[in-house]
Amino acid sequence: MSIIEGRNTARGTVAAWVYLLPALIIISVFVFYPLIMAFRMSMYESYNFYKNVGTGFGFASFKRVLCDSDFHIAVKNTLFLSFVAMPVSIIISLVIALLISSIKKFQALFQTFFFLPYVTSVIAVGIVFRWLFHSNYGLINYFLGLFHIHPVAWLNNPKTTIYALAIYYIWGNLAFNTIILLVGVQNIPKMYYNAARVDGAKWGKIIFRITLPQLSPTIIFLTIVGFIASFKVYNEVYALFGDLGGAANSAYTIVFYIYRTFYGAGRMHIAAAAAVILFVAILCITIIQMLVSKKFVHYK
Amino acid sequence: MEIRLENIQKKFSSVVAVHDMNIRIKDGSLTGLLGPSGCGKSTTLFMIAGLYAPTAGNIFFGDEAVTLLPPEKRGIGLVFQNYALYPHMTVLKNILFPLENMKIPKKEALKMAEEMADIVQIRDLLDRKPSQLSGGQQQRVAIARALVKKARVLLLDEPLSNLDARLRLETREEIRRIQKETGITTIYVTHDQEEAMSITDDIVLMDKGWIQQQDSPQQMYLNPGNQFTAEFLGNPPVNIIDGKITDSVLVVCGEKLCGFDGVEDQPVVVGIRPEAVLIGNGDIKASVRLIEIVGKDKIISLDLKGCLIRAIVSLDYDCNVEELLSFSVKHSGVFLFDKTTGARIKGFAS
Amino acid sequence: MKKMMLIILSLFLLGSTVFASGQQEEPKKEDAKSKEPAKAEVVSINKEISSPVTVEFWHGMSAKLGETVELLADEFNQTIGAEKGITVVPVFQGGYTDLKQKLTASIKAGTAPVISQGYSNYIAEFMQADVVVALNDYIYDSEVGIKDFEDIFPGYRAENCQIDGKTFYSLPFNKSTEVIFYNKTFFEENGYEVPKTWDEMSALCKTIYEKTGKPGMGYDSLDNYMITMIQQFGGKYTDAQGNIYYSQNDAAVKAINLFKENFDKGYWRIAGEDKYLSGPFGNADVYMYIGSTAGASYVKPNGFEWDSAPIPYVSADKKAAIQQGTNVFLMNQNKSDEEVYAGYEFIKYLVSKDANFIWSTNTGYLPIRKSVVESPEYKKFLATTTDTTKISGPAQGDYYFYEPGFFTPNYSSYDVRVSLRAAVEDALLNGTDAKTAVDTAYGKLK
């Protein structure tokens, strides 16, 4: 079990613990303690957050969360972001990264250009997007109008709010994904492309057989990070819909649900139960991802 | 397939990498593109491969002008310096990749790949990933991948530079064997003159983007066209000393070295092959300055009135530093070059 | 993998020990509860400041409102404060949402400020922490009490002692109500009258829609619409103890249906993507809207004049208009009696005639005192201001009602309000049947 064989002496172990102690203390205070308290809170039927006193031990809070129609919306939306918006974002980023890397002039300029969203405030951009999505004055509907498509009440219609949120989320992620993928693309040795050209591969084939496999560790990294991030979407909801969570609560995400339940309603134990559910969900997905990715990813 | 380069030039922005180059590479030969780094030999190879477009001039494969053809249409196989094996594919997939692009049916492709694998003797490695192979094995896979599509021309870019010394010897023999076995016209880029000398049929020697000489290894060694060629080939290198011709006699450091007919009186640069210095046999006297043992040879540096001349003798030859030795020179190992242009001055040593 | 399981298992183990200890603490809560009534009976309060104290006042008032808060604090510090040795430091904490978050966090950390602004449901929630100060002993004290307490409008007093009808945990501060904002120019050009009843409202909006193709009226806060209309349709919303009544009668369903009928035909609209209707109203995209008097300064009419009027009623005998806005309250968490007393002196100043005059003439908020409304200075102010909500708002003073603020283990007044908003949106936007929407909203709480 010990990493450095033969150093597994009692003295060595004590020394290792001493070295780890500062990190362990910090982790205990800021990670384990809150985690345990959240678990604990979630197991009460009612809970006085200010005094850390609860009554009625059991799974009642979980039942409440799981039966709450707002939580159902939140789960649906979160899954949509994770399984549709996040992959779409990576695919678009990939296309952009490939395009940028294939141009010779102004590459640095475009690189900076695409990175700008990353350093811009989510909330500020949210205000801009609210106008873009506006049913009467929005640019998006203006463009749809050019193709004779009826204006969409993106933010007013409970059926379209999730698409608005997804578009905004995709846009917000492009910068980071594109930069990381661009670095990945630029790190692929040029000789593979030369070899593939000599081997007579067309560009489509080069992308699918050379570029993508070479990028697979980067893509899997972005997928894991993206998955976890998409499970924690909150800012975007707030930026587009304010603290109401969209028409008829239609833009709720799981974290937004937790936030609203915690600070808005002050029902901390319910929020904690939702947080525990989220924690378990992320844990499971991450484990599955790790197992699956081992099969498909080429690590150098 | 005979390959001809006519007036080929390559510029990278303002730098000229290859100047007005004309060469002819014989069908079925193994030709070495030799030269120090930066001489333009890899650039030339990549132009032949089609990865670089020449700035001017034409390239012919047989009678076919291929100057404008993309690499995959030229029927070439290229082995890169680092082999460029696709790390995410198995050896078999690597070899199959060119065939896949030629839309060859799977079964047939598999057969071709296996045949090729037999030729380069890697049949038992087909399921491995490149990272699980040794350098020499990777080299073979790279050659197999280059040849599997029935290439007309095999291009090798410094194929041995990533191998250790022992493996290098072995692999170059292997390359020679495969070349002979397939009979494919092969161009072999290297900066190592020994490597080029040992396996090629023909050498194109380049420096600073210019061709210095094209000849068989032996001819090039025995009959260098200029000072650069003489200096680049041979180990230990040729002795280069200032001298002059006076009345058909070659004088070096005030000492008459030998007679030299057919050359006017003029100052010259003299090149003497170390093995052409015949110790103990002659009347030129010089003292021993330094003795080095290189493998099975001994190199003796002689001080001839201030000029240093290296001589090569067998290991069992006994002498001491400061000892006075007499020697003569073998006439075929003495070359004269023009002092300003470095061009060979032909004459007859006597 | 084994290691991971081990870690998770040990986490659960650790967790269960914490649960065990948690359960042992339970009786304490009962103690705390039984103590509460006793608190109101404490007779002796501290009225002395032995050495100068500084107390913080946390608020959510930005821009001009924040400046006025600073002005009031300066005024206090230079007069009463200077005399008694009290310095009040106003601390802006962002909007109400931020303020609530920061209060929650500070109480949890044991560093709550002495004075804060807050809605009655905040106070109900913070009561759990036993940090909110009951004010009766101060207010009714013979020396430092508020002599003219009865001068404060009864509706405001009722709201601030709603828990048992007699104990004050807060005092009214920034108060507003809802009125109709209408496009006066457009109304005059077409000879329209401002509707007095909802029937008139529907009829007028139909006329406007047919003429202009635009909705006649919009309602900013659908929560307020529901709470108000439940009253107007003769129902009861909730009480301060957290009992919910709206599900027991059809008032909520009627309210939703009224909106839905008009909304479906395009006569009425909601704020939706615009968040507040002052924007569309200013652009003449809607000719009337019902919104908070406090929002009057955000109305920026684009080439027309606007005016305001009381909101419509269903029947004249059941008029109702919400009185809203926050109150100020005191907390004594890790604070000395002197600091609490200092806090009291400041909120007493805030509700005083002088301060309330400054406040209601410098901001969009309404006077809380009869004496302010009736003062010649205020009348003079009304003559000069273009903000007619200062008249139309208080004109509804006779039928103000307040939204009870409470906190129960399963839901708070906030949840009730939010679930009703979701219900009306569900009916309007998803086409859900009104009765189903109301039942769903109610079901969420239980």
Q: What is the pLDDT of residue C11?
A: 47
Other chains touching A, judged by 3 or more CB pairs under 8 Å: B, C
Q: What is the pLDDT of residue B160?
A: 85
Using the 8-state DSSP alphabet, how is residue C234 labeled?
T
Neighbours of B214 (CB within 10 A): 19
The torsion angles phi and psi of C12, rounded to 5 degrees, stand at: -60, -40
pLDDT band with cut points at 50, 70 and 90 for residue C38: very low
Q: What percent of chain C is predicted at pLDDT more than 70?
A: 90
Q: Between chains, do C429 and A267 touch, taking CB under 8 Å as contact? A: no
Q: Between chains, do C273 and A57 touch, taking CB under 8 Å as contact? A: no
CB A86 within 8 A of CB A230: yes
Q: What is the pLDDT of residue B260?
A: 82
Q: What is the pLDDT of residue A9?
A: 74
Task: Please name the residue of chain B whose CA is at the shortest distance from the CA of residue A200.
Answer: B72
Q: Between chains, do A57 and C23 touch, taking CB under 8 Å as contact? A: yes
Contacts of C60 (CB under 8 A, 6+ apart): C92, C93, C94, C95, C96, C98, C99, C117, C326
CATH 2.40.50.140 domain range(s) in chain B:
239-349
Any C CB within 8 A of A179 CB: no
pLDDT band with cut points at 50, 70 and 90 for residue C408: confident
- A197, A198, A211, A298, best to mutate vs chain B, most B CBs in 10 Å: A198
Distance separating alpha carbons of residues B13 and C389, to the nearest angstrom: 75
Alpha-carbon separation of residue C390 from B160, B196, C84, C188, C394 (angstroms): 92, 100, 35, 22, 7
Rounded to a whole number of angstroms, the distance from the CA of A50 to the nearest CA of chain C is 5
Q: Which of C108, C272, C421 sits opposite A49 (nearest CB)?
A: C108
Distance separating alpha carbons of residues C331 and C57, to the nearest angstrom: 11
Contacts of B238 (CB under 8 A, 6+ apart): B230, B231, B271, B272, B273, B274, B335
Give SS3 for A57: strand
pLDDT tens column, A61-105:
899 899 888 899 999 999 999 999 999 999 999 999 998 888 877
Q: Between chains, do A202 and B101 touch, taking CB under 8 Å as contact? A: yes
Q: What is the pLDDT of residue C208?
A: 95
Any B CB within 8 A of A191 CB: yes
pLDDT tens column, C414-430:
889 988 999 999 999 98
A46 to chain C: which residues are within 8 Å by CB?
A: 409-410
Q: Between chains, do B88 and A201 touch, taking CB under 8 Å as contact? A: no
Q: Between chains, do A36 and C409 touch, taking CB under 8 Å as contact? A: no
Q: What is the pLDDT of residue A296?
A: 66
What length does chain C have?
446
| Mean pLDDT score of chain A | 86
- Predicted-complex ipTM score: 0.80
| Mean pLDDT score of chain C | 87
List, as ranges, residues 58-77 from A with C-beta within 8 Å of B: none
A194 to chain B: which residues are within 8 Å by CB?
A: 51, 78, 80, 84
Which residues in B have their CB inside 8 Å of a CB on A?
49-51, 70-72, 76-78, 80-82, 84, 86-89, 97-98, 101-102, 131, 145-146, 149
Q: What is the pLDDT of residue A76?
A: 94
Q: What is the pLDDT of residue C304?
A: 93
Q: What is the pLDDT of residue A153?
A: 84
The CATH number fitting domain B3-232, selected from 3.20.170.30, 1.10.3720.10, 3.40.50.300, 3.10.180.10: 3.40.50.300
Distance separating alpha carbons of residues C112 and C134, to the nearest angstrom: 16
Rounded to a whole number of angstroms, the distance from the CA of C79 to the nearest CA of chain A is 37
Distance separating alpha carbons of residues A118 and C265, to the nearest angstrom: 43
What's the mean pLDDT in C361-372? 91
CATH 3.40.190.10 fits C176-323+400-445, yes or no: yes
CB A241 within 8 A of CB A29: no
CB pairs under 8 A between A and B: 62
Neighbours of C42 (CB within 10 A): 10
Give SS3 for C16: helix
Using the 8-state DSSP alphabet, how is residue A29 labeled?
I
Rounded to a whole number of angstroms, the distance from the CA of A39 to the nearest CA of chain C is 7
CB B146 within 8 A of CB B71: no
pLDDT tens column, C7-31:
544 444 444 444 444 443 333 333 4
Task: Please name the residue of chain A whose CA is at the shortest distance from the CA of residue B99.
Answer: A199
In CATH, what class is B239-349? mainly beta
- DSSP characters for B32-77? EEE-STTSSHHHHHHHHHTSS--SEEEEEETTEE-TTS-GGGTTEE
Q: Nearest Cα to B240, choosing from B299, B349, B232?
A: B232
Q: Is a pLDDT exceeding 80 seen at residue A30?
A: yes
C11 to chain A: which residues are within 8 Å by CB?
A: 32, 35-36, 39
What is the fold of A67-296? MetI-like fold (1.10.3720)
- DSSP characters for B235-257? SSPPEEEEEEEETTEEEETTEEE
Q: What percent of chain C is predicted at pLDDT more than 90?
A: 66
Rounded to a whole number of angstroms, the distance from the CA of A169 to the nearest CA of chain C is 18
The residue ranges of every structural domain in chain C are 53-174+325-391, 176-323+400-445
Distance separating alpha carbons of residues B349 and B336, to the nearest angstrom: 10
Q: What is the pLDDT of residue C268?
A: 96
pLDDT tens column, A222-271:
988 898 889 989 888 988 888 788 888 899 999 999 998 888 788 888 99
pLDDT band with cut points at 50, 70 and 90 for residue A2: very low
Q: Which of A283-297, B135-149, C134-148 has the lowest mean pLDDT?
A: A283-297
**A vs B contact (3+ beta-carbon pairs below 8 A):** yes
Sign of CA dihedral B81, B85, B91, B97: negative
Q: Kindly tell me the burial class for residue A98, based on how many C-beta atoms sit within 10 Å of its own C-beta (0-12, 13-18, 19 or more).
A: middle
Q: Nearest Cα to C348, choosing from C125, C158, C88, C159?
A: C88
What count of Cα atoms within 13 Å lies in the side-chain half-sphere of residue A292?
10
Q: What is the pLDDT of residue C14?
A: 44
Same fold, C53-174+325-391 and C176-323+400-445: yes
CA dihedral C352, C354, C356, C360 (to 10 degrees): 170
Neighbours of C257 (CB within 10 A): 15
pLDDT band with cut points at 50, 70 and 90 for residue A121: confident
What's the mean pLDDT in A39-65? 87
**C vs A contact (3+ beta-carbon pairs below 8 A):** yes
CATH 3.40.50.300 domain range(s) in chain B:
3-232
CB A261 within 8 A of CB A277: no
Q: How far is CA A177 from the centre of its chain?
A: 11
Q: What is the pLDDT of residue A297?
A: 65
- Which residues of chain B fall below pLDDT 50? none
CB C178 within 8 A of CB C293: yes
CB C405 within 8 A of CB C158: no
**C vs B contact (3+ beta-carbon pairs below 8 A):** no
CB A243 within 8 A of CB C97: yes
Q: Nearest Cα to B294, choosing from B308, B274, B276, B280?
A: B274
Q: Nearest Cα to B297, choosing from B238, B234, B236, B239?
A: B236
CATH 3.40.50.1240 fits C53-174+325-391, yes or no: no
Other chains touching C, judged by 3 or more CB pairs under 8 Å: A
pLDDT tens column, A150-171:
888 888 888 889 999 999 999 8
Q: Between chains, do C101 and A263 touch, taking CB under 8 Å as contact? A: yes
Using the 8-state DSSP alphabet, how is residue C328 labeled?
E
Characterise A66 by phi-psi region: left (phi > 0), alpha (psi -120 to 50), beta (else): alpha
Q: Kindly tell me the burial class for residue A20, based on how many C-beta atoms sit within 10 Å of its own C-beta (0-12, 13-18, 19 or more).
A: exposed
A201 to chain B: which residues are within 8 Å by CB?
A: 72, 97, 101
Say how many Å lie between the first and final Cα of chain A, rounded: 25
Q: What is the pLDDT of residue A299?
A: 60
CB A248 within 8 A of CB C425: yes
Q: What is the pLDDT of residue C386?
A: 85
Beta strands in C274-408 (DSSP E): 288-292, 306-310, 321-330, 400-401
Distance separating alpha carbons of residues A246 and B308, to the nearest angstrom: 92
Q: Which of C15, C126, C430 sits opposite A36 (nearest CB)?
A: C15
Q: Between chains, do A248 and C270 touch, taking CB under 8 Å as contact? A: no
A49 to chain C: which residues are within 8 Å by CB?
A: 104, 108, 128
